[in-house]
A and B are shown apart, each in its own frame.
Chain A
């Protein structure tokens, strides 16, 4: 198992990506973060297709819900229908607080649902806790 934690961040908002990356940089564990901006790219990345042929499989996916082309719900559906990809925990990280989005995400087997807070300090706290929980407490399956 590699020491380097590989995270796939799927988000179409450039500003939000910048904030999440800034927050991830502050976490204790060393991590590599790959950023893709919609569901189509996310699936290509996960399936190591096209420009992502040599991509490492991520240990965790941070997935936004509302994105162009293919949204987070579709990515989640495809991931959880795939025997290999379904092992990768998916953290929904979205601006939506709508109850139907929460319910739908868990219906589609999201591993957890987080509403992105407004403001960098709050976001940093959330990202730190994601990091501590998923890479400090949780035992993950080995990455192939």
Chain B
């Protein structure tokens, strides 16, 4: 490819990316509006008609409320997802040890609730968007805790090694694992492998992870042994220069 064609192609990609971002943001904002109306008027109905409502009507209103809640969560997730590209921070030198420490702090409640053990090696300093790197680790560690297996102490290991131009990070758990036919699918938006009653969540977490890693010029993938655990691997380029080359 000539550099002119390359430039043309990357301009086109940038344009279609921007259009997609705008679509997602507008859709999510505009979707909130009717939802707010449904929520408000259903609350009003309950409030002003409370005494007159029979059991069936009360049940309907509570079903409306839980539908609203679900829709709200989906919209918020969609907004967060679209913001990865629309609202990025600059890539700067970040000590990933500090990122992990702050993640563990915010996950503290879930970690102690799961009785889990989280161990990590000395991790490198990388060129990254701090809040995004933090969200990436938080989602991966959060998942490791969520999909833990019954009957054994959940153990999450975070490690990193140099792999040529990249740092390869791994987040390994000893949880329920993922069947081989699903390991690629899990990165899709709103993809779920379990019912919401078994494992709560909308299925956006790994899609966000993938988007963050790709924005940094890396790749993410999962390796799993169903029944004994999953390892999420992702790469981040070593330096800003390499980062830039790889992104463009």
Contact = CB atoms under 8 A, between A and B. Distances in A.
Interface of A: 13, 15-16, 18-19, 22, 66, 95-100, 116, 118-121, 123
Nearest to B72: A118
B149 interface: no
B29 A118 contact: no
Contact of B43 (A66, A98, A120): A120
B44 A120 contact: yes
A66 B25 CA distance: 14
Contacts, number: 43
A120 B50 CA distance: 14
B202 interface: no
Interface string B33-66: 1011101110110010000000000000000010
Contacts of A15: 36-37, 40-41
B44 A16 contact: no
Interface residues of B, number: 18
Contacts of A19: 36, 40, 44
11 contacts: A13-B33, A15-B41, A66-B29, A95-B29, A95-B32, A95-B36, A98-B87, A100-B87, A116-B36, A120-B40, A120-B43
A18 B40 contact: yes
Contacts of A120: 39-40, 43-44, 47
B176 interface: no
Contact of A119 (B33, B43, B79, B83): B43
Contacts of A121: 43
B29 A22 contact: no
Given A16-B36, A95-B33, 18 more contacts: A19-B44, A22-B44, A95-B29, A95-B32, A95-B36, A96-B29, A98-B83, A98-B87, A100-B87, A116-B36, A118-B35, A118-B36, A118-B39, A119-B39, A119-B40, A119-B43, A121-B43, A123-B40
Nearest to B48: A22
Interface of B: 29, 32-33, 35-37, 39-41, 43-44, 47, 65, 68, 72, 79, 83, 87
A24 to B, nearest CB: 14
Nearest to B47: A120
Nearest to A95: B32
Contacts of B37: 15
Contacts of A116: 36
Interface centre among B36, B68, B83 (most CB of A within 10 A): B36
Contacts of A98: 83, 87
Nearest to A14: B37
Interface centre among B33, B40, B43, B47 (most CB of A within 10 A): B40
A66 B33 CA distance: 12
A13 B30 CA distance: 12
Contacts of A95: 29, 32-33, 36
A101 B41 CA distance: 27
A16 B41 CA distance: 10
A99 B68 contact: no
B33 A99 contact: no
Instruction: List 4 A-B pairs, minimum CB-CB distance, nearest first.
Output: A120-B43, A15-B37, A19-B40, A119-B39
A99 B87 contact: yes
Interface centre among A19, A66, A96 (most CB of B within 10 A): A19
B68 A119 contact: yes
